[in-house]
Structure 1
Amino acid sequence: MKGAEVRLTSIAAAVAASLLMSPTLAAADPGEGFDVTRYDLALTPNIQDRTVAGREVITLRATADRLQRLSFSSNALSIDTATIDGVRVVVRSQADGLHLDLAKPLARGRSVKLELTYHGRPARGLSGSATALYTSYFACDWMVCVQDRFGDKAAFSLALHVPAGLDTLSVGRRVARRTAPDGGEVHRWAAPRPYSAYLFGFAVGRFARADDRVGPARLSYLGETADAAELKRRFAETGPMVRFLSDKAGVPLPVSEYSQLLVQGREAQEAATYAVLGVDALRTKADDPAEDWAIAHELAHQWWGNLVTCATLQDFWLNEGVTTFMTAAWKEHRYGRAAYEAELAVARSRLDKARAAGFDKPLAWEGTYPTLATRRAVQYSKGALFMDHLRTVLGEDAFWAGLRRYTRAHAGGVVTSLDFQRAMEASSGRDLRPVFSEWVFGAAEK
């Protein structure tokens, strides 16, 4: 199908080599032994050379007794200073992470503030043009955080120091704008709720803007090279999608403002409260269901992935398989059953390709995937096909009631596959252990 390969550029699909590893954590792995409760940043991005300079305060709480080391995801930034509650510490930057050895171990439950200053050119995670810059999935390359601990949700605020007259976009809403001493501006953004770190992001440039509303929520369409009329045309289906997904989730759009940034190329990725979408990932003709996936997929993540988040990479299908299925469900609603079947045919062909190569695993398999494409074939494609299978087994009423129960019960939290099974069993009144064993847990798998 036209555009099928483009689908692999989704944000969560962009999880690179780290996703190929088992989610089992070693003692010194990033995020082990503590939970982050807040990330507060003041960041100066440079559009021309794609560098950043920042000051960051990380508020964290020890979850292990006598915690002696704090480890964060590795990156290419140069750490200039680091203090914990005002006491200087040394940061060792290694391939397996950024490590801080503590002079005195932290007792379980103790909260501290880690303050860092840094600068550098991130190896990943920044894209753009000569006049604009936007982040792309790898948040912990342009800031200090823990990338793959999805279950560790944290509050987030970002003060962007930019040249006067530029527009910014980040997580949540802009809560302040002031003139900086150098004549530039500082735009402060704050997230509406805690999010996983991989969902943090920002954009800087001169953007045209168009706005719409769906109930109390505002939809904002931004673009560097498109005017307001083109933005409204390209994102015209967003409002109907919000209404459809809200109904199926049993939860209204989880954010008061949802933004979509139109950029060049094939970008298709979600952040906590917005999405970045490339012109080449969007349809060019009206009523063309083959190219209607990107807006729906990234929007659906506002519920499944962002609001309700898998606890670990082992259950990543709860983010991506559900969202891939909901893209097909939207197409069925908008274009008819043939469009739904065509979308699932794409998923089936990807899974068949993995099977032909000798690889097929349960959705919640915890082993090592040979390639990222293989992981996608299982957790995205097989996940979507399992959702379709459940829909057939349970029937329309019980299936959608189960999805609503699951989404409402875990809104704002983290989940495992067992949470999803229990919601579906409660809605249907059926014992679903056999079907979940076959598709999700693979009781016979070693």
Structure 2
Amino acid sequence: MIRRMLASPLAGTALGLLCSPAFAANRPGDGFEVASYRLALTPDIENRTVAGREKITLRATVDGVRRLNFSANTLGIDSATLDGVALAHTVEGDVLGFDLPRPLRRGRTVKLELSYHGRPARGFAGSATTLYTSYFACDWMVCSQNKFGEKAAFSLDLRVPAGMTSLSVGNMIVRRPGADGSEIHTWKAPRPYSAYLYGFAVGRLTRVSERVGSKRLTYLSNTADAGELKRRLAGTKDMVAFLSAKAGMPLPVADYSQLLVEGDEAQEAATYSVLGSDALPRQPDDPSQDWAIVHELTHQWWGNLITCETLKDFWLNEGITTFMTAAWKQHRYGRAAYEAELNEARSRFEKARAMGFDKPLAWNGTYPTLGVRRAIQYSKGALFMAQLRVTLGDAAFWSGLRRYTRDHAGGTVTSIDLKRAMEEASGRDLRPLFAEWVFGEGLSEGQSQ
């Protein structure tokens, strides 16, 4: 993610469940984990509103859960029940909470059912004929935006005007007539994903597809015709081949879609990306402009398939992806393009250092600005990956990255997981290097602040 990454809900936040039975659940997601979200949504393109029903299956992870907290949003909750019992709800700051009639025991599984409506404050964009979501899933549904380590199943019944095209996570498994000239498109994710990766789009969209081996690439747009779509996204096939080889595993989704819209959008979702036309190269074969497609595609492996457990290790999502953008440029344009991309990262990082702000990659504190957070987690993260490559040599480095990817596919990771994979691939003790860049000088792996 680039343009819409790390807006206010992410700034200075740390995650992690409390483990004491007598805890006070105050943060979204504390005390329980979600197994699945099942949604039925009716979006209104013209008014930028949504009405929905949602069933959340969740399990208590500690004893004594008295309240279920999620990320607050601007939706109006029309009804809420837990296993059929009506619940009251409150909104306090950035927390939407549901008070329970009796505490939940650890291990108990329950179903929270909701209905709601409203105009999301963030995460909705589009035109007069198109609506698409971008990053802030918990503004148009009820979930926990920053609980990256929680991956849940996701399915969506999307009610749209007949004849419109829709896009969401995974594949459309059913398309059936609805009431009043509508259609219901049922989408289902192929595997559990973190909630921030959920999304959808609906509109009068041009749609074209092509095959890359056993995978399908689908291009959609409300502004470009089929010819322009194929031309502007033509490099995707080569990028898929390159990233598959470096990851040691094929594209993790059977059908990868790219939605081309106006503006400078660059945002990944679980099985697709939203790309603004201004973020794509205006001239062919210009390495300085060739970043958005490969960056968001790269997240299908690092970020989506393998996700940082908490925001403390967010650099594993974005630093690796920023580095792989440089690696793609080396493959496509030569060594000079790789160095130029790393120099861009170095320039951003040096600006943060000039402000007196240089923190370890796995730092759990508060950043003064979103730009500084980017400079550390994106840019310094990419520079560290480049330093690992120099230190280990290409053979061991790429072997370590493949090991890391295969070993943790579908799961969540911390910085220690990357360290172990690189050590196993190289046979080297990387504690000093990780202490310098990732955990902080003089701190052990479990003590980074």
TM-score by length of 2: 0.96
SS at match of 2:288: helix
1: CA distance between counterparts of 2:75 and 2:154?
Answer: 20
Alpha-carbon deviation of 1:24? 4.7
| 1:199 match | 197
Alpha-carbon deviation of 1:224? 0.6
The one-letter code of the counterpart of 2:89 is V
1: CA distance between counterparts of 2:382 and 2:94?
Answer: 33
**Counterparts in 2 of 1:145-294, with a 5 A limit?**
145-294=143-292
The one-letter code of the counterpart of 2:375 is A
Contact 2:151 2:195 in 1 (8 A): yes
SS at match of 1:210: strand
**Which among 15, 29, 49 is matched to residue 6 of structure 2?**
15
Alpha-carbon deviation of 1:160? 0.6
- Aligned-pair identity (%): 68
Alpha-carbon deviation of 1:17? 1.6
1: CA distance between counterparts of 2:309 and 2:153?
Answer: 17
**Which among 392, 395, 405 is matched to residue 407 of structure 1?**
405
Unaligned runs of 5+ in 2: 19-24, 444-448
Unaligned runs of 5+ in 1: 1-6
Alpha-carbon deviation of 1:8? 4.3
2: CA distance between counterparts of 1:70 and 1:431?
Answer: 43
1: CA distance between counterparts of 2:375 and 2:405?
Answer: 24
Contact 2:170 2:189 in 1 (8 A): yes
| 1:95 match | 93
1: CA distance between counterparts of 2:67 and 2:152?
Answer: 20
| 1:52 match | 50
SS at match of 1:363: coil
Contact 2:15 2:146 in 1 (8 A): no
| 2:21 match | none
**Which among 66, 70, 73 is matched to residue 71 of structure 2?**
73
Q: Deviations over 1:208-241 (max 9, x none)?
A: 1111111100000001111111100001000000
Does 1:307 pair with 2:305? yes
Contact 2:42 2:50 in 1 (8 A): yes
Q: Deviations over 1:362-414 (max 9, x none)?
A: 00011111111111000000000000000000000000000000000000000
Alpha-carbon deviation of 1:193? 0.1
Please tell me the root mean square deviation across aligned C-alpha atoms, in Å: 1.1
Q: Deviations over 1:291-342 (max 9, x none)?
A: 1100000000000000000000000000000000000000000000011111
SS at match of 1:114: strand
The one-letter code of the counterpart of 1:18 is P
Alpha-carbon deviation of 1:96? 2.5
Q: Deviations over 1:264-291 (max 9, x none)?
A: 0000000000000000000011111111
2: CA distance between counterparts of 1:96 and 1:305?
Answer: 25
**Counterparts in 2 of 1:317-396, with a 5 A limit?**
317-396=315-394
1: CA distance between counterparts of 2:418 and 2:307?
Answer: 12
| 1:34 match | 32
Contact 2:15 2:311 in 1 (8 A): no
Does the C-alpha gap of structure 1 residues 211 and 24 become closer, same or farther in structure 2, counting only changes over 3 Å? Answer: closer
**Counterparts in 2 of 1:102-141, with a 5 A limit?**
102-141=100-139
1: CA distance between counterparts of 2:11 and 2:136?
Answer: 15
Does the C-alpha gap of structure 1 residues 331 and 141 become closer, same or farther in structure 2, counting only changes over 3 Å? Answer: same
2: CA distance between counterparts of 1:383 and 1:396?
Answer: 18
2: CA distance between counterparts of 1:307 and 1:433?
Answer: 26
1: CA distance between counterparts of 2:271 and 2:94?
Answer: 30
Q: Deviations over 1:78-128 (max 9, x none)?
A: 000000000000111222211011111111000000000000000001000
The one-letter code of the counterpart of 1:389 is Q
SS at match of 1:306: coil
SS at match of 1:291: coil
TM-score by length of 1: 0.97
Contact 2:39 2:52 in 1 (8 A): yes
2: CA distance between counterparts of 1:355 and 1:363?
Answer: 14
Alpha-carbon deviation of 1:36? 0.3
The one-letter code of the counterpart of 1:219 is L
Contact 2:14 2:312 in 1 (8 A): yes
